A = this chain, B = another copy of it.
Amino acid sequence: MDTETPPNFRPGTDAFRWDGVAYQPYKQDGEAPFKDISRQTLFHDDALACELRYFEMDDKGYSTLERHEHAHAVMILRGSGQCMVGEEVRDVRQFDLVTIPAWTWHQFRATAGEAFGFLCMVNMTRDRPVLPSEDDLGRMRANPAVAAFLGS
């Protein structure tokens, strides 16, 4: 991340990139728990107690299936797709709001044949995400909607 103070005005582009914001494609290999997702940190400022990030997935991409103590506040910004929060799986689209409470398994998937992007507000100080064990995955898959969402 840039440590320089960004200018007060940072225009966006039609491609959901921003002047002065680093585009960070996630490195991935066969073991990666996510697919075809990028991050742009839109606001990271010592004067603010939260960060605002923008994540975007290509078609068929997905975010990491994870949980943690800290909460997320999400607004879908681009396209549509699906989101799992605990036992709930929903179709979501531009400008919908999603709350991820503490210690709740969650994942976003670009299931609608298009790029799918969302804003995520999160506390600057936060714990590290936890990935599911095989036992956790087995318990999640007991819910048919979750099993269908997670795929094979």
Task: Tell me the A residues contacting B by CB distance below 8 Å.
Answer: 6-12, 16, 18, 21, 42-43, 45, 47-50, 52, 70-71, 73, 75, 77, 83, 85-86, 88, 90, 92-102, 119, 121-125
Contacts and interface: CB of A to CB of B under 8 A. Distances in A.
The 5 residue pairs across chains A and B that have the minimum distance between CB atoms: A49-B49, A12-B95, A50-B50, A47-B71, A43-B73
A42 to B, nearest CB: 6
Contact of A101 (B8, B18, B43): B8
Contacts of A71: 45, 47-48
A21 B99 CA distance: 13
29 contacts: A7-B99, A8-B88, A8-B98, A8-B99, A8-B100, A9-B83, A9-B85, A9-B88, A9-B90, A9-B92, A9-B97, A10-B96, A10-B99, A11-B96, A12-B96, A16-B95, A18-B97, A21-B97, A42-B73, A43-B97, A43-B121, A45-B99, A49-B50, A49-B123, A52-B73, A52-B75, A75-B119, A77-B95, A121-B121
Number of copies: 2
A8 B96 CA distance: 11
Main secondary structure of the interface of A (DSSP, over half): strand
Contact of A102 (B7, B47, B122): B47
B98 A9 contact: yes
Nearest to A90: B9
A89 to B, nearest CB: 10
Contacts of A121: 43, 48, 50, 52, 121
